């Protein structure tokens, strides 16, 4: 049989799954089980020695979750993936094998407010630190890297402003420094951008958002490109040296391109326990089947809404990268050629009070701390997701007091615009 490389629309339906071998069920079953019976003592030993792939305990591996990992790996063009309980968990899982007390990451100032807090506050408890830099200033990124830097972190399409990051330039900086580039691809999804093709080492997702698409479950995923040589330096001892937490196994030497993925399961999920539940994985698998169709509609609606807002006299500015007026329009064509996503901000001339009043008057838009739903969503970051930041930090993050974050859904675009019009009024 002739092998062919399947397109994205085919992969989002078929990748990582097949009929259940026991029953023939065509949809992936929800394997609601805690543990799995070993064939014999030798089989159990091989599983624990990573000599054979299989199932031990659902904190580590589960067939439903495994199917989702395989599908996301295929969509991102990676070597392997580890799913976990949330997007925030995915960020910890991505960094856990790389970091030690005293090490740091260089991160974009344009990140989700919860990520900024996690990096600037919670990391301190691990002895890690983060240096925040405007990633449009590549010289500043280079200058921020020191001997203790272990990764560069950014978002493809930054939350909340919808700014598009120059992944190609950052991957070159990371390569020169001998460190991985970690890209949060939540707001773009692999349909709009595949960061590994732009040089990313690791890709993280909050599968809660567009991947699931219906606001039903939380989840996260870390995808490894398999392209980074963890053995090239002594910066990453958990992967390049005998791991005392796993009977002295050297993951990099033993597992090669799959070293990071297996470390994430055997050490990360085992010890941190941030496991995705199989029912949540099932919902996300079903959601991904329509990812490209939804993203097309999300983008189509977002362009029309952003263009309407930009012409409105009550609006001070719109940050959508798909607008002809956006300084990121050319970058969009290179990084996200299928569109700039459906997340952006709008600054109202009436300031903080106008934003609060507008949110309260919304009828079609849902006022929630989420994005990437089929429904149109709104939030005022300065009083919610970015509330913990100073006003100066809010401005740097693209979440000024006069800014609303919009996540444009797949409803009739005329209804979306009508709701915005009456609410801003």
| 295 and 283 in a common domain | no
| 351 and 221 in a common domain | no
Query: pLDDT tens for residues 148-158?
Result: 999 999 999 99
| 266 and 303 in a common domain | no
| 242 and 303 in a common domain | no
pLDDT the model gives residue 79:
97
* 3-state DSSP assignment of residue 110: coil
Position 398 pLDDT exceeds 90: no
Position 1 pLDDT exceeds 50: no
| 263 and 395 in a common domain | no
pLDDT the model gives residue 17:
85
* Res. 392 pLDDT band, cuts 50 70 90: confident
Cis bond upstream, residue 160 (ω within 30): yes
Query: pLDDT tens for residues 283-323?
Result: 999 999 999 999 999 999 999 999 999 999 999 999 999 99
* Res. 2 pLDDT band, cuts 50 70 90: very low
CB distance 93 to 238 below 8 Å: no
User: What is the number of structural domains in the chain?
Assistant: 2
Residue 308: is it exposed, middle or buried by C-beta count within 10 angstroms (0-12/13-18/19+)? middle
DSSP per-residue string spanning 79-100: SEEEEES-HHHHHHHHHTTT--
Contacts of 137 (CB under 8 A, 6+ apart): none
pLDDT the model gives residue 20:
82
pLDDT the model gives residue 384:
83
Write the CA distances from 114 to 117, 159, 197, 207, 347, integer angstroms. 5, 10, 27, 16, 21
Instruction: Give the CA angle between residues 258, 45, 69 to the nearest 5°.
Output: 35
Last residue of a domain, one of 242, 263, 287: 287
Residue numbers of the domain that contains 84: 8-98+180-287
CB distance 5 to 15 below 8 Å: no
Query: pLDDT tens for residues 24-37?
Result: 888 899 999 999 99
* HSE-up of residue 150 (Cα within 13 Å, Cβ side): 21
* Res. 194 pLDDT band, cuts 50 70 90: very high
| 224 and 279 in a common domain | yes
* CATH number of domain containing 253: 3.40.640.10
């Amino acid at each position: 049989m002739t092998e062919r490389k399947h397109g994205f629309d085919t992969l989002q339906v078929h990748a990582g799954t097949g009929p259940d071998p026991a029953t023939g069920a065509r949809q992936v079953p929800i394997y609601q089980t805690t543990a799995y019976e070993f064939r014999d003592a030798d089989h159990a030993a091989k599983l624990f020695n990573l000599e054979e792939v299989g199932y031990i305990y659902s904190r580590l591996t589960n067939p439903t979750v495994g199917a989702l990992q395989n599908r996301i790996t295929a969509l991102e063009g990676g070597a392997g993936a580890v799913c976990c309980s949330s997007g925030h968990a995915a960020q910890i899982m991505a960094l856990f094998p790389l970091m030690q007390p005293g090490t740091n990451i260089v991160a974009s100032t344009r990140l989700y407010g919860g990520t900024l807090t996690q990096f600037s506050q919670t990391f301190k408890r691990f002895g890690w630190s983060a240096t925040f830099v405007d990633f449009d200033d590549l010289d500043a990124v280079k200058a921020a890297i020191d001997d203790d830097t272990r990764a560069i972190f950014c978002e493809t399409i930054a939350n909340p402003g919808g700014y598009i990051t120059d992944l190609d330039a950052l991957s070159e900086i990371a390569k020169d420094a001998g460190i991985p580039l970690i890209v949060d691809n939540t707001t773009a999804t692999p349909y709009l951008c595949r960061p590994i093709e732009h040089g990313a080492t690791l890709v993280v997702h909050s599968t809660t958002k567009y991947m699931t698409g219906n606001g039903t479950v939380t989840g996260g995923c870390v995808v490894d490109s398999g392209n980074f040589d963890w053995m090239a330096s002594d910066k990453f001892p958990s992967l390049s040296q005998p791991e005392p937490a796993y009977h002295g196994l050297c993951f990099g030497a033993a597992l090669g391109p799959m070293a990071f993925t297996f470390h994430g399961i055997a050490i990360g999920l085992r010890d941190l326990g941030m496991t995705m539940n199989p029912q949540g994985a099932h919902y996300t698998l079903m959601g991904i089947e329509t990812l490209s169709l939804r993203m097309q509609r999300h983008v189509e609606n977002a362009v029309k809404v952003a263009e309407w807002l930009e012409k409105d006299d009550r609006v001070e500015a719109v940050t959508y990268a798909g607008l002809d007026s956006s300084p990121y329009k050319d970058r969009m064509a290179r990084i996200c050629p299928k569109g700039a996503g459906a997340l952006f901000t709008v600054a109202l001339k009436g300031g903080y009070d106008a934003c609060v009043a507008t949110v309260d008057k919304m009828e079609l838009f849902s006022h929630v701390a989420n994005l990437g739903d089929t429904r149109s969503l709104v939030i005022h970051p300065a009083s919610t997701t970015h509330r913990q930041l100073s006003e100066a930090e809010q401005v740097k993050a693209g979440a000024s007091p006069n800014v609303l974050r919009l996540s444009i859904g797949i409803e009739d675009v005329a209804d979306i615009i009508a709701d915005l019009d009456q609410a801003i009024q």
